[in-house]
Chain A
Amino acid sequence: EDQVTQSPEALRLQEGESSSLNCSYTVSGLRGLFWYRQDPGKGPEFLFTLYSAGEEKEKERLKATLTKKESFLHITAPKPEDSATYLCAAAGEKLTFGTGTRLTIIP
């Protein structure tokens, strides 16, 4: 059975304090690893797709990386508006979501 595990469950950072979110996956026939941002009460917003180990994608203060077993979402010098839940999902037979990391950036 496909599994996706995210850590930490919650993370509080000071504004400007860089950190990384982890996504570990066990998926048969991985077709892609996706990162989403979700604000409370709203639908997930697509951020990145990663297809192969070693691949990196960047968008503003966010950078996503992929290995054969994990993906990381690095956030550099975060701002309060980066506060959200970040979801990782792996596409195998279907899309399997992790439980998310709730990120809070304190001004």
Chain B
Amino acid sequence: DTEVTQTPKHLVMGMTNKKSLKCEQHMGHRAMYWYKQKAKKPPELMFVYSYEKLSINESVPSRFSPECPNSSLLNLHLHALQPEDSALYLCASSLVDEQYFGPGTRLTVT
């Protein structure tokens, strides 16, 4: 099974809201990732967790806050977002280098 699940599928939020995106995998992968993807662009790395510790933060604004409660779960907490943050947010996991992606959360900031 190479499944990564993400919830919700769609999210609309105002600029003053606080919301969270969730990601789950049960493949025993020890690395988990958050990517942001704009239309007709490739995925852009935001954060990497390795063995539940944040190992890479690609200079992402503090209005995005990642959390890894355990080896199977990854959250992305959102607060005071801007309209330009509207995008497809992808979660991925890997054992070594081969990354498997979830279906994504389509986020719209109004």
Given contacts A32-B97, A41-B104, is CB(A94)–CB(B45) below 8 Å? Answer: yes
Does any Cβ of B come within 8 Å of A83's Cβ?
no
Does any Cβ of B come within 8 Å of A69's Cβ?
no
Give CA–CA (A89, B94) in the complex, Å. Answer: 14
Q: B41's contact among A49, A89, A95, A99, by CB below 8 Å, is which?
A: A99
Give CA–CA (A12, B98) in the complex, Å. Answer: 29
Having A46-B2, A89-B42, A97-B42, one finds 11 other A-B pairs with CB under 8 Å, namely A41-B104, A41-B106, A43-B6, A43-B101, A43-B102, A46-B99, A89-B99, A91-B97, A94-B45, A94-B48, A99-B41
Q: How large is the interface on A (under 10, 10 to 19, 20 to 34, 35 or more residues)?
A: 20 to 34
- Which chain A residues lie closer than 8 Å to B90 at the CB level? 43-44
Chain B residue at minimal CB-CB distance from A85: B40
CB <8 Å contact, A46 and B42: no
CB <8 Å contact, B106 and A97: no
Q: How many A-B residue pairs have CB under 8 A?
A: 48
B23 CB, nearest partner CB in chain A, Å: 11
B48 CB, nearest partner CB in chain A, Å: 8
- Which chain A residues lie closer than 8 Å to B92 at the CB level? 43
Q: B42's contact among A32, A41, A43, A98, by CB below 8 Å, is which?
A: A98
Q: B103's contact among A42, A46, A99, by CB below 8 Å, is which?
A: A42
**In chain B between 14 and 45, which residues have their CB closer than 8 angstroms to a CB of chain A?**
41-43, 45
- Which chain B residues lie closer than 8 Å to A46 at the CB level? 2, 98-101
- Which chain A residues lie closer than 8 Å to B106 at the CB level? 41
Nearest 6 CB-CB pairings of A with B: A97-B42, A43-B101, A91-B97, A32-B97, A43-B104, A44-B101
- Which chain B residues lie closer than 8 Å to A45 at the CB level? 101
Chain B residue at minimal CB-CB distance from A36: B101
Sample 18 A-B pairs with CB under 8 A, ordered by A number: A36-B101, A41-B88, A43-B90, A43-B103, A44-B101, A46-B99, A46-B100, A46-B101, A49-B97, A87-B43, A94-B45, A94-B48, A95-B45, A97-B42, A97-B43, A99-B41, A99-B42, A100-B42
